[in-house]
Each structure stands twice: as structure tokens, then as C-alpha cells.
Amino acid sequence: NAGVTQTPKFQVLKTGQSMTLQCAQDMNHEYMSWYRQDPGMGLRLIHYSVGAGITDQGEVPNGYNVSRSTTEDFPLRLLSAAPSQTSVYFCASSYLGTANEKLFFGSGTQLSVL
Amino acid sequence: GQQLNQSPQSMFIQEGEDVSMNCTSSSIFNTWLWYKQDPGEGPVLLIALYKAGELTSNGRLTAQFGITRKDSFLNISASIPSDVGIYFCAGRGRGSNYKLTFGKGTLLTVNP
């Protein structure tokens, strides 16, 4: 099993550019989520999904879009990048149910917006 | 929303020392989790707690779910250099659906 795979590992964008961060998991997890990590801020939830076709907003959703067309994939889209979106992004997945909190994380995407 | 206060923010200790860190919540949590993050990697789950008063160990790590349901503690005994990293607490409270709230992390440095 590869677990949770994120691409790219690093990305530099100019303000106003768009891009998609990819996330894939091969564990058949129903639940997938995106977090951003900023110095001194911990991990903040951006969007999450409990299954294909179902998404919902987290704590900091503005400026980000998601979709879930398959169980395996959960891409995060930045339509018009802003410097405030410079951060490290983590995708995480888990089973639903009583143990749904056992999130498995990808290795992260470091994004810089100039 | 739910808030978690994690302390201390950072610790610098000598190899062999014991370490304690804690998290407190402004509201009742049903689940407490402790994660460790190595540089350049995503967080990895260390311990999960599901019942008030629960005490769970994972090797040299021990975590407890506070009896008030508003706090949790993580202890590391006999620290070694590979314990270096950022430790996060995370919790899920009532009515939070599937959302986990994370603390801001404790940066642990171990001096060999």
C-alpha cells in the first residue's frame, strides 16, 4: 500500500495563478480531508469529504475548492492564488465510524505564492 | 468553534529525561489523539483515547484522557534523540461531525 500520496511536493505560484494539489489514497477510506499548516497555527481544516460526491467546508475554506468524484482521489483547487495561501498542505484520510479519527496523512505539499 | 490550548510550545531537554505536555479544551471532547510530526513529513498517530480517565501506552509514550473530558496529557519517558519533532494533540467534540481540532503543537528538541 502506498497510503496517502500527495503531489507535487513543492510548488511556487505567482499571485492570481491557479493550480490543483493532488491527493490519492489506496486504503479504500471513505473520509478524506485537506489541512493547511502555518507556523504557530497548528493544522487547520480546509475541506473534507465523507464519500464520493459529498464534500463540506472546514475551518478555513475560503479560496479553495474541492470535489470527490471517486473514493480514491480528493484534489484541492486554488482558483486564484494569493500570498496568504503560502503554506504547507496536508491531505489525510480515514475510515468512517468509531475509529474515524485515526487519520493517515500524506507527506505534504509546500506551496509558495509570490 | 472548538479551541485547543497545547503547552508548552517548545521544550529543550537532555537525552534520558522524561517529558510531559498537555492540551486543554474549552469544551468537552469525546476523543483525544496524539500525533508526532517529523521534519518534512505528515503527522503520524501515536495514541488514541476514547474514554474519560483512559490511560494508554505505546512503548515509552503514555497518554491520558482527562476525567473532566476537557484535557489530555502525553508523557515520554527516557527520551532519545529520535523523539525530536512536533507533537500535536487533536480532539473531536460533540456535534463536530467528523472534524478534528488540532492544537498548535509542542516542538521537542532532545540534546544527545
Q: Name the grid cell of A8.
A: 507535487
pLDDT of residue A62: 96
Backbone φ and ψ for B81, nearest 5 degrees, come out as -55, -35
Q: B92 touching A, CB under 8 A?
A: yes
Question: Is the distance from CB of A64 to CB of A46 less than 8 angstroms?
Answer: yes
- Between CA A35 and CA A71, with CA A110 as vertex, the angle to 5 degrees is 45
From A40, A50, A106, residue closest to B98, measured CB to CB: A50
Q: A40 touching B, CB under 8 A?
A: yes
CA distance A44 to chain B (A): 7
Instruction: Look at the alpha carbons of A65, A31, B87, B1 in this order and tell me if their dihedral is positive or negative.
Output: positive
Sequential pLDDT tens for chain B (112 residues): 567 899 999 999 999 999 999 999 988 998 899 999 998 899 999 999 999 999 999 999 999 999 999 999 999 999 999 999 999 999 987 766 677 889 999 999 999 9
pLDDT digits (tens, 9 = 90+) for A72-87: 999 999 999 999 999 9
Question: Is the distance from CB of B63 to CB of B34 less than 8 angstroms?
Answer: yes
pLDDT digits (tens, 9 = 90+) for A32-51: 999 999 988 889 999 999 99
Q: Supply the DSSP symbol for A63.
A: T
Q: B78 touching A, CB under 8 A?
A: no
* B98 with A43: Cβ contact below 8 A: no
CA distance A86 to chain B (A): 16
CA gap B46, A37 in Å, rounded: 19
Of A21, A27, A25, which is closest to residue A46 (Cα–Cα)?
A21
